[in-house]
Amino acid sequence: MSTVTISEDEFLRLKEKAGEVIKRDPTQCLAIGHTWKFIGGANAGCGETCSCSVPVHECIVCGDCDYGDNDEGNDTRQECALLDHNDEAHP
Ligand SMILES: [Zn+2]
Ligand SMILES: [Zn+2]
């Protein structure tokens, strides 16, 4: 019971609450490079029989969600495209 560690998430929320302007602006998001946190997986949506999942991230500042539209997701979809969607063979 000594120090309280807050996450960047918490920190930014507090800053926002305190009225510090953190613009919810996607261009700023890219320019400044907000922190995106992993919030779960989503279907990659690469094919009807496909069950790939891609990681979904949310910007802790803007609250934006990438819905799996990220490098990792792109990789997954690319790899999937190289595979035939044989139900069994597909991980
Ligand atoms: Zn952002
Ligand atoms: Zn797939």
Quick check: helix, strand or coil at residue 8?
helix
Q: Looking at residue 43, what is its pLDDT?
A: 92
For residue 23, report the distance from its CA to the centre of ligand 1, in Å: 8
DSSP state, 30?
I
Report CA-CA distances (Å) from 76 to 17, 23, 27, 35, 55. Answer: 37, 32, 26, 22, 10
Q: Looking at residue 24, what is its pLDDT?
A: 61
Please tell me whether the overall predicted TM-score, pTM, comes out greater than 0.85 for this model.
Answer: no
Boundaries of every domain in the chain: 8-82
For residue 22, report the distance from its CA to the centre of ligand 1, in Å: 9
| Burial (0-12, 13-18, 19+ Cβ within 10 Å), 5 | exposed
> Which ligand is closest in space to the CA of residue 85?
2
The model's pLDDT over 14-68, given as tens digits with 9 standing for 90+, comes to 877 877 665 566 677 888 888 899 999 999 988 788 889 999 999 888 888 999 9
CA atoms within 13 A on the CB side of 19: 0
Phi, psi of 54 (to 5 degrees): -120, 150
Q: Looking at residue 21, what is its pLDDT?
A: 60
Residues with CB under 5 A from ligand 2 (ion): 44, 46, 50, 52, 80
Q: Looking at residue 30, what is its pLDDT?
A: 80
